[in-house]
Amino acid sequence: MKKIAKIVLVLIVLIAVVEIVVLSFGPFSKRVEKNSVLTLRIEGAIDERTPHDSFVGTLLGSSTSVSDMIEALDRASTDPRIAGMQMEVGESTLGIAQIQQLRRKLGEFHRAGKFSIAYLEFGTNRSYYLASAGQTVVLLPTSLLNIHGMMTSTTFLRGTFDKLGIYPDFYHIGDYKNATNIYQEKKYTPAHREADQALLEDLYNQYVQGVAESRRISPVEAGQLIARGPFSSPEALAAKLIDRVAYADEFRDLVDKKNGGHNSRVSVKEYLNRTERGGLSKVAVILASGMILPGKSANNPFGEEMMGADTIAEQFKSAREDDSIKAVILRIDSPGGAAFASEVIRRELLLTKKQMPVVVSMSNVAASGGYWIAMSANRIVAEPGTITGSIGVLSGKFNLLGLYEKLGLTKDHLVTAENSTFDWSFQNFTPAQRDSMQRYMHEIYDNFIRGVAEGRKMDVAAVDKIAQGRVWSGERARDLGLVDELGGLDTAISSAKKLANIPAGEKVDLVYLPPPKDIFQQIHDLLNNTETFSRPASVQHWLARIEAFARVPAWTLLPAVPEIQ
């Protein structure tokens, strides 16, 4: 069966190569017509950057990433062939910080004399926040603009664990370090409630302010309107939250009319393939996404990105060894992870910083270990809605003995020392084990706040006061000194250029690390990857890896900040 699967795969690859060659070298493949409209459809899962080694993405056409959108808007702003943009906005995985970056780039696009028209089939807080940045907002007739005040909620598992006989034996350093609260509590603690309420209010105020600016009304009026929602299509039009109601075909006709009758369109992906950014100086961009763990970066069996400390270290080393690279931007979207793995990355940042500027650009989340790897950079840039901070430590384990007893299972064991059971999931920590673990956690926490104090040029006591595991919005973190400047990747690029003495008006060549693999490298990797034809082995590998990570003595993970709706 494996041999047949490989033969079929080879045939598919050959067909794909022929198609790619035809598309790449066809007579019109590089052409961008005058009066073209950039088209963008935003829905579903959207990556920060298209995976650099995704053959399936190359074969089937990978989704447009956040960095693709930003880069296309940046190029199109100064391209006389691009007249405007049409956006079809649905529900997506974009976070508030990513939406804020796109909104700001759309503002620059407009100031360059380009138009934009956004289309909603159904509006929510998230999709409307982005669509409202368009100069014209169109909603499907007989639809709903389901905007309203924001809320957040947390599901607590302690009651379930009690019924199952599972005891969560966890500890933390920092009053607000509440990542384990969902296991240990049945409702918000006062500190948990205080932190989540402040974060919710910050993000909601940013949302209201953004809608007010886009719709050219006061924040007070925008807040009152949003609080009255949801709105039917006619109600949304009457409230001037949208500009038109129309079907999809009428929306496209409206775009053509706005474009002087021209109907030439080019997608973001096509536009990037047909143009080049250029630039004399090179700036490396290292993407640091997912939970921070030792080893190599990979996707877990659920498709989620896992940041491997060894992989990020290799990318910093690669940047240091390339004489053409003048600065490094570390783009972080991470809730944290293992403390020692975070320190491996920070060490490489410090070594790189001796040779060239290192600027951190924070995406949706750069908290706990995500902030650990940022704290020593020359400069830190975050969006107003970036979740950051969470300077604290946690550790612990689940005691499954009660569950086993309910199931009629029994456990017996032999040891060579009392601490042999330190990681054993069938008893709580002994007093001596708990003291040992907490001493180590305090040591990690002290190292954390000292590192922040050194990197941010603050007093240790002042850092401790704003640490304690508490999360902050990027806007609040800027005011507290944890962040230097508000903005996105483009802002980080400007900071890197200034620190590297690159003229402000000079465009730079962004070098993403690791560099993307070409189609032939991807085919080679795919055909030689045994996991492609042996999925159980892949699952077994991850189960073994997860079991090893369960024994990590200290974690710097983001507290339980739930999805904000």
Annotated catalytic residue, options 411, 420, 465, 534: 411
* Burial class, 9, CB count within 10 angstroms (exposed 0-12 / middle 13-18 / buried 19+): middle
Nearest to 174 by CA among 191, 188, 187: 191
In DSSP terms, 139 is beta-bridged to 120, 245
d(CA 243, CA 348): 51
Number of C-alpha atoms within 13 angstroms, CB side, residue 526? 22
Q: Provide the 8-state DSSP code for 125.
A: H
Active site residue 368: yes
Q: Provide the 8-state DSSP code for 485.
A: E
DSSP element (H, E) containing 136: strand 136-139
Nearest to 493 by CA among 283, 275, 278, 277: 283
Residue entry with tokens 């270990």: 369
Left, alpha or beta for 510 (phi > 0: left; psi -120 to 50: alpha)? Answer: beta
Annotated catalytic residue, options 92, 233, 361, 368: 368
Phi, psi torsion values for 516, nearest 5 degrees: -65, 145
DSSP element (H, E) containing 67: helix 66-77
Number of C-alpha atoms within 13 angstroms, CB side, residue 100? 28
Token couple for 391? 């300077």
Left, alpha or beta for 501 (phi > 0: left; psi -120 to 50: alpha)? Answer: left
Residue entry with tokens 């808007």: 73
* Burial class, 78, CB count within 10 angstroms (exposed 0-12 / middle 13-18 / buried 19+): exposed
d(CA 552, CA 413): 22
d(CA 149, CA 146): 10
- Angle at 19 (CA atoms; ends 16, 22), nearest 5 degrees: 150
Q: For the sheet containing 393-399, what is the strand order? A: 167-173, 393-399, 555-557, 336-338, 291-293, 305-308, 298-299
Is the distance from CB of 357 to CB of 328 less than 8 angstroms? yes
Token couple for 333? 């979207």
d(CA 217, CA 508): 37
Alpha-carbon torsion 177, 182, 188, 194, what sign? positive
Task: Tell whether omega for the bond before 230 is within 30 degrees of 0, i.e. cis.
Answer: yes
Nearest to 328 by CA among 295, 263, 373, 371: 373
**Which residues lie below 8 Å from residue 334, measured CB to CB, with a gap of 6+?**
288, 289, 290, 291, 292, 307, 365, 366, 367, 369, 370, 373
The size of the chain, in residues, is: 565
Q: Which residues are catalytic?
A: 368, 411
